Structure 1
Amino acid sequence: MPKGKIIKALSGFYYCLDGDKTIQCRGRGVFRKNKITPLVGDEVVYDYENEREGTIQEVLERKNELVRPPIANVDQAILVFSAVEPDFSPVLLDRFLVLIESNDIEPVICISKMDLIKDEKQRQEIEEYAADYRKIGYEVMLTSTLEEDGITELRPLLNGRISVFAGQSGVGKSSLLNVLRPELSLKTSGISSHLGRGKHTTRHVELIQVGTGLVADTPGFSSLEFMNIETEDLSYCFPEMRGVSGDCKFRACTHISEPKCAVKEAVENGSIPAYRYEHYLSFIEEIKDRKPRY
């Protein structure tokens, strides 16, 4: 039987890309019984009744999956955070980074709306954050869809890969995709003046061809929960902590109150940004306070 990749899931139908054709499929009834939900990005085996319609028979093993947004087999995540409107939030960015790191997905940080920065002090602050994250080892793009800054550097990163565009609502994910592929004309929207946050413009997950890669424009969301991350695993989601934790006195060091902790020493000497460590501590408390699951 032929194989394909789910590029869109909508109203109970799964649209499977197989070469240069797309087959509209339904899932087998046994999927629901076995609590299997096909996701966008899944590699599947299907059979077909005609050239346009078929049935998914099997969902092949996933290398990773995200819950919010619901997508599988992602190679990299383009985390889009605006410099302003809404204001850049390092704590929210770190929440996204932890989620992406925990799923072994390569993150790329994209700071959008650089053209909207009003004063030099604000620009300098954003550039300092960008320098911090680059020092950690992350790829950081400073972009403007109006002036198309940073777009040339972003394009080649998408080739040959499945990328997910994710971030807070209203930061310009759809605007970036419109610059990358103008014929898409994806709906965009500004910031709600009443709520001070973005309005959702993307209603479902869909993989869109950009260059030789596939890109997902995903529904925006403004919070993340660490449902599948334990306290002992959290520091591994901070690369700069992961890199020095082997020098801690205690093998199971939590980097909170233990003596001769290499992570705390790195924070004190400035090689780990203090705000990243503060976010780590707050995330630890959040995980500890999480209600147990049964």
Structure 2
Amino acid sequence: MIEKGRILKGIGGFYYVKSKDIIYESRASSLFRIRNLTPTVGDYVEFEITDDNKAYIKDIIDRKNLFLRPPVSNVDEVLLIVSIKEPNFNTQLIDRMILLSRYNGVEPKLIINKSDLDSSGASLLAKNYEEAGFEVHITSFDDKESLEEIKNLISKKTIVFMGTSGVGKSTLISHLTDLKLETGQVSKKTSRGKHTTRHVELLEYNKDSYIVDTPGFSSLALDFLSDIYELERLYFEFDQFGMCKFSNCIHINEPQCAVKTALGNGELKEFRYQNYLYFNEEISNRR
């Protein structure tokens, strides 16, 4: 008998597929090895229940998108969680995660957390990213109004919570839902968070509402970008500055560059451009 369901978790070669409020421990059919395909958390699948009550995934229904980091598919929204302090934010790592999300076709929303530790710093960071075209929300665990605002963002969707270790992803999820997740402390020695999320899992907190709490990033290579032109295309704010003289302009040394003109007159944020230069060099040196 063929059923349809969604993979909530995958551990040790087993996939846990939810179908009609029942979760089936399933294995992937041998056909997947032949087709060089791997089922992923978030996949909608067709699976077969055998006479001895075992379940085998037979096919993957077309995906909306597929993230490789974290490995999850059919994502509706990415909430990029940033802490203003403990640990301190890093705009270069924020911009790397923005590139990862945009590369997978999802425009991230920034959530600036722990604003109670530095409200003016949180407001300034929010202003900088809002002026770069991003939707930004400021919150803290004791600010019920801001938490309600974020709750409205995640209803009836599959949401990836992305961020570095220690920014409060798991705690924030616990405040937004009835889910109680393991949380860790920020190391006083390194000022970095400790991992509490060890695998990727779809956590259902309401009907048709799923949260993905992912292991925290401490670094993120840009190996998912094939060349510097792909990098340039993912800096969406560049499009609003008009046409450069040269159609293949990469906005570094070319004359009559609209992006550098925007930088000079303050339309483009300096930190965004400096991160772009750093990423450009990183990709160029990879060749």
Q: TM range, normalised to the smaller chain?
A: over 0.9
Partner of 2:223: 227
How far has the Cα of 1:274 moved from its partner?
A: 0.7
Asked if 1:261 is matched to 2:257, the reply is yes
Partner of 2:111: 110
How far has the Cα of 1:149 moved from its partner?
A: 4.9
Asked if 1:96 is matched to 2:97, the reply is yes
Say whether the 8 Å CA contact 2:82–2:113 is kept in structure 1. yes
How far has the Cα of 1:11 moved from its partner?
A: 2.1
Say whether the 8 Å CA contact 2:140–2:146 is kept in structure 1. yes
Any residues of structure 2 matched to 1:157-168 within 5 Å, and which? 157-168=153-164
Aligned mate of 1:288, from 276, 284, 287 = 284
Say whether the 8 Å CA contact 2:80–2:162 is kept in structure 1. yes
Moved more, 47-56 or 3-12: 47-56
Aligned mate of 2:237, from 223, 230, 240 = 240
* CA offset digits 1:153-200 (Å, max 9, x no partner): 111111222110011001100001100123x22000111223321110
Any residues of structure 2 matched to 1:99-248 within 5 Å, and which? 99-117=100-118, 123-182=119-178, 184-211=179-206, 212-229=208-225, 230-244=227-241, 246-248=242-244
In angstroms, what is the RMSD of aligned CA positions?
1.8
Say whether the 8 Å CA contact 1:163–1:214 is kept in structure 2. yes
Consecutive aligned runs of 4 or more in structure 1 exceeding 4 Å deviation: 50-53
Is the alpha carbon distance of 1:31 and 1:162 closer, same or farther for their aligned partners in structure 2, counting shifts above 3 Å?
same
Say whether the 8 Å CA contact 1:40–1:206 is kept in structure 2. yes
Distance 2:131 2:34 in 1: 48
Is the alpha carbon distance of 1:144 and 1:51 closer, same or farther for their aligned partners in structure 2, counting shifts above 3 Å?
farther
Moved more, 70-79 or 13-22: 13-22
Partner of 1:120: none
How far has the Cα of 1:215 moved from its partner?
A: 1.0
How far has the Cα of 1:58 moved from its partner?
A: 0.9
Say whether the 8 Å CA contact 1:15–1:22 is kept in structure 2. yes
Moved more, 20-29 or 274-283: 20-29
How far has the Cα of 1:52 moved from its partner?
A: 7.0
How far has the Cα of 1:126 moved from its partner?
A: 2.5
Give 1:207's aligned amino acid.
L
Could you list the runs of 5+ residues in structure 1 that have no partner in the other structure? Answer: 118-122
How far has the Cα of 1:31 moved from its partner?
A: 2.0
Distance 1:136 1:231 in 2: 20
Distance 1:171 1:53 in 2: 40
Say whether the 8 Å CA contact 2:84–2:121 is kept in structure 1. no
Say whether the 8 Å CA contact 2:112–2:138 is kept in structure 1. yes
Moved more, 140-149 or 79-88: 140-149
Any residues of structure 2 matched to 1:9-158 within 5 Å, and which? 9-49=10-50, 53-117=54-118, 123-158=119-154
Say whether the 8 Å CA contact 1:42–1:72 is kept in structure 2. yes
Count of residue pairs the alignment pairs up: 284
How far has the Cα of 1:226 moved from its partner?
A: 1.1
Is the alpha carbon distance of 1:58 and 1:288 closer, same or farther for their aligned partners in structure 2, counting shifts above 3 Å?
same
Could you list the runs of 5+ residues in structure 2 that have no partner in the other structure? Answer: none
Say whether the 8 Å CA contact 1:42–1:73 is kept in structure 2. yes
Moved more, 65-74 or 165-174: 65-74
Distance 2:132 2:12 in 1: 42
How far has the Cα of 1:234 moved from its partner?
A: 0.9
Say whether the 8 Å CA contact 1:75–1:162 is kept in structure 2. yes
How far has the Cα of 1:103 moved from its partner?
A: 1.2
Is the alpha carbon distance of 1:63 and 1:187 closer, same or farther for their aligned partners in structure 2, counting shifts above 3 Å?
same
Is the alpha carbon distance of 1:50 and 1:140 closer, same or farther for their aligned partners in structure 2, counting shifts above 3 Å?
farther
Give 2:188's aligned amino acid.
S
Distance 1:190 1:208 in 2: 22
